[in-house]
Amino acid sequence: MRTQVAIIGAGPSGLLLSQILHNAGIDSVILERKSLDYVLGRIRAGVLEQGLVDMLDAAGVGARMHREGLVHDGTELCFNGTRHRIDFKELTGKTVMVYGQTEVTRDLVDARRAADAKLVYEAEDVELHDFDGDSPWVTYRKDGVEHRIDCDFIAGCDGYHGVSRASAPQSVLKTFERVYPFGWLGILSETPPVSEELIYARHERGFALCSMRSHVLSRYYVQVPLDDKVEAWSDERFWDELRRRIDQKAADTIVMGPSIEKTIAPLRSFVAEPMKFGRMFLVGDAAHIVPPTGAKGLNLAASDVHYLSEALIAHYGSGEGELIERYSENALRRIWKAERFSWWMTNLMHTFPDASGFDGRMQVAELDYVTSSKTGAAALAENYVGLPY
């Protein structure tokens, strides 16, 4: 088989890249290790920046998002038992869209299938070859049969555990990492959300987040020690812990119900540099991870797709190669700023095992500043709604 761009991974970054390239007349093939059901079963991000909303619209896949998604003009920060609102719209003129990553993925798969895309699920043993030369190729196995795809470029959209970053020359690859000493235990529950907007809560017992997927589907998280096991958390224990960490009104009015999903995710900051190795590019989680505080993971994957699709469209259109050469540099400038914001929000809101009383007072003083100063609030809001591409 021959294609212009071989895409590894059918998560949001691989699918969005493929759709944008298709709309520009550029051919791609997507190889995904898992089944479609498995990919759609993963509950992940829920907050989309305006930039991603605009990209989904431009790619022609935004209709259901506008029908079913929830536009949020602000968020609430809770500390010392009181909630304080950050008004994104007033401070930045922008809003965010609450619409699950699962739904974004589903919309993209539907669009790709409607266009007869070459989308291969359960592709085993994907290997990347000769991307340091002019004629890269990719091999994989499907149903026991070996396949080869020749291509112009390879886009490694295969997440943190993918094969693309592992295939990069390790002598060139630099990685930067911080691992946090806690995780997030998250549940999905078919109950109305406790509040119209998200609540990010700092509490001595640990961070908590009240989020949602719709008016009838809530998503809640509590900070837990890294070695905690999901089995140790009955629904009852989860609701008790969550209610202790949020303000009294929210604790009194929250509607509790059985969880329909419950998982623990570790928190990590990670960046790989560079993101281009000859004719192979790293995109999204393959190149970087942020801790979830601040909802940047999916949005960063989308901004990489913005820079890469722009570069490939210029290459195939006018033949201009400058944007391809600068992909890594352009993407990384924005990535590091989102890494900084996610690290800052994580440090501001979580209880660290070795934190002193002084550290705790510093967190509260900073939260007080951020929620009482227009400048402080604007800095948070500007980052939360997404920095420009």
Question: Exposed e or buried b for every residue in 214-228, given b needs 16+ CB within 10 A?
Answer: beebbbbbbbbeeee
**Amino acid identity, residue 342?**
S
Please say whether the beta carbons of 190 and 228 come within 8 A. Answer: no
Among 292, 300, 350, 383, binds ligand DHB (CB under 6 A): 292
Interaction between residue 45 and ligand FAD (CB under 6 A): yes
Rounded to whole angstroms, the Cα distance separating 177 from 172 reads 17
Contacts of 262 (CB under 8 A, 6+ apart): 185, 186, 187, 188, 230, 233, 235, 238
CB of 178 to ligand FAD, least distance (A): 16
Nearer to ligand FAD, 10 or 254 (CB): 10
> For this structure, is 72 an active site residue?
yes
CA of 346: how far to CAs of 82, 208, 270, in Å?
A: 19, 11, 14
What is the pattern of x (binds ligand FAD, CB under 6 A) and - over residues 263-292?
--x------------------xx------x
In angstroms, give the least distance from the CB of 292 to ligand FAD: 4
**Distance (Å, whole) CA 326 – CA 346:** 30
User: Does 100 engage in binding with ligand FAD (CB under 6 A)?
Assistant: no
Closest CA relative to residue 284, chosen from 179, 108, 164, 167: 164
Question: For the chain, how are helix, strand and coil distributed in percent, rounded to 5?
Answer: 40, 30, 30
- Nearer to ligand DHB (CB atom), residue 96 or residue 128: 96
Closest CA to 182 of 222, 223, 220, 210: 223
Catalytic member of 22, 203, 296, 350: 296
Longest dimension (CA), the chain: 63
The listed partner (ligand DHB, ligand FAD, none) that binds 223, CB under 5 to 8 Å by sort, is: none
Q: Is 349 in the site for ligand DHB (CB under 6 A)?
A: no
- The answer to whether residue 220 is catalytic is no
Binding mask 110-149 for ligand FAD (x = CB under 6 A): -------------x--x-----------------------
By C-beta, is 302 or 308 nearer to ligand DHB?
A: 302
Pick out residues in 180-199 that bind ligand DHB (CB under 6 A).
198
Active site (catalytic) residues? 72, 200, 292, 296, 384
Binding site for ligand DHB (CB under 6 A): 45-47, 198, 209, 211, 219, 292-295
